[in-house]
Homo-oligomer: A and B are copies of this chain.
Amino acid sequence: MNYKVIDNNDIEILKSICPDRVYTGEEISEDFSHDELGGVKRMPDVLVEVLSTEEVSKIMKYAFENNIPVVARGSGTGLVGSSVPLHGGIMINLTKMNRILELDEENLTLTVEPGVLLMEIGKFVEEHDLFYPPDPGEKSATIGGNINTNAGGMRAVKYGVTRDYVRGLEVVLPNGEILNVGGKVVKNSSGYSIKDLICGSEGTLGIVTKAILKLLPLPKKAVSLLVPFPNLNKAIGTVPKIIKSKSIPTAIEFMEREVILSAEEFLGKKFPDNSADAYLLLTFDGNSTQEVEAAYEKVANICLEEGALDVYISDTDERKESIWSARGAFLEAIKASTTEMDECDVVVPRNKVAEFVEYTHKLQEEFNIRIRSFGHAGDGNLHIYVLKDDLTEDVWKKKLNDVFDCMYKKSRELNGLVSGEHGIGFAKKPYLFEQYSEEYITLMKNIKLAFDPKNILNPGKVCQ
């Protein structure tokens, strides 16, 4: 690709669009060169902080006419390099477009700008006795980022993923045109679902500048169960039996002792129990104590029949908080325990989770490298971290590569897919290309071209 190199004239024009919010050179923090895992780095040539859709549109029009690459960025909490400006150019920082625009209680929708944080949405709607179900662990992510990865989070077992809660989007296309797709409507069969294509497209097809989210009434009652098991296999093996019993917990997470110990150390707080090798953490929600009790008692009995050592019931906010704050800190805790890491976010059919995690245990021994995992046992989405520790750079790269090759191969064998919720970005492209046929990749490239014929928006990501 032959992109135009940013010059002073471009900077001046960007300054005329966004006065006082255009940054270059050392004015740009190094943070903008990478995301949360930092595996790939590059500084943008110019960083522009936008405040409105019109500004985004003007920037894109200019970039399109002048063949300048553009990357949109939220909080930068991604894990696969989606928001890294591989070709330099313009970075659009959307974090100041962070207003909650409208709560519509008659249509149960919330209209937001892309820079609103997930934690802010949760807090705001709960104050109105409403509920935005998608619940990724990283609460400081922006909603724009969540939409672009189609993040799922912990409540996907019962409530589905981000896409299921996006009713409408305002999107700026690569040529600067503003498109409104979907709306406050519940149903829509009015042409191809561009809304669903934008969800999960990792900033490569358009820039989301507004989102209409679907809300639900806030469940009145929620209870968490922490269930210790003698080993991970028994813990995860219980999950298909829970599903088959026709219970629908809100969340089913699995965790191992090593990760809990890391979280205890990281947070300086004790977890309610750390004596067992492996745990399931479940939540149940509903509108009455009876309803929730009936659901969790059945599941508690299944766990005990399958060899659970105990069942701890947490129905106070305080107890739930102590468990879930630990769960929320797993990624940070593992990260703090090593020098560098990379992660695998495969999703497999939920009755294959145990087999996959067991396999990662074998890899840990075979390659003599630390591997930690936790994840969403209820929806088959695993988060597996390979840790560098004190390996040399060369050995680390080689081992990581070999271990990842094995993991993604195993995932394909189990009819899994490369990414459950973190996306492909830059880092997982090789595995996407292995997963899909040439025909499939060509089709994705053609879709990309349908939106972005000059390939200026977030180039080098997903299928390119």
- Is A1 at the interface (CB under 8 A from chain B)? no
In the assembled complex, which residues on chain B have CB atoms less than 8 Å from the CB atom of A104?
A: 349, 351
In the assembled complex, which residues on chain B have CB atoms less than 8 Å from the CB atom of A184?
A: 349, 415
B183 A415 Cβ-Cβ under 8 A: yes
- Is A193 at the interface (CB under 8 A from chain B)? yes
- Is A398 at the interface (CB under 8 A from chain B)? no
In the complex the two chains form, what is the Cα distance from A442 to B192 in whole Å? 12
In the assembled complex, which residues on chain B have CB atoms less than 8 Å from the CB atom of A130?
A: 246
A349 B187 Cβ-Cβ under 8 A: no
In the assembled complex, which residues on chain B have CB atoms less than 8 Å from the CB atom of A247?
A: 217
In the assembled complex, which residues on chain B have CB atoms less than 8 Å from the CB atom of A199?
A: 193, 196
A193 B196 Cβ-Cβ under 8 A: yes
Q: State how many angstroms separate the Cβ of A350 from the closest Cβ of chain B.
A: 6
Q: State how many angstroms separate the Cβ of A164 from the closest Cβ of chain B.
A: 6
A428 nearest CB neighbor, chain B only: B190
- Is A208 at the interface (CB under 8 A from chain B)? no
Given A197-B193, A449-B450, A107:B349 Cβ within 8 A: yes
In the assembled complex, which residues on chain B have CB atoms less than 8 Å from the CB atom of A244?
A: 105-106
Given A217-B246, A288-B291, A424:B189 Cβ within 8 A: yes
- Is A432 at the interface (CB under 8 A from chain B)? yes
In the complex the two chains form, what is the Cα distance from A397 to B295 in whole Å? 57
- Is A22 at the interface (CB under 8 A from chain B)? no
A417 B188 Cβ-Cβ under 8 A: yes
In the complex the two chains form, what is the Cα distance from A187 to B448 in whole Å? 22
Q: Which of A176-205 contact B (CB under 8 A)?
A: 177, 179, 182-194, 196-197, 199-201, 205
* Of B185, B193, B421, the contact of A163 (CB 8 Å cutoff): B193
- Is A300 at the interface (CB under 8 A from chain B)? no
Given A243-B107, A440-B179, A189:B423 Cβ within 8 A: yes
4 smallest A-B Cβ distances: which pairs?
Answer: A217-B246, A196-B196, A446-B450, A186-B379
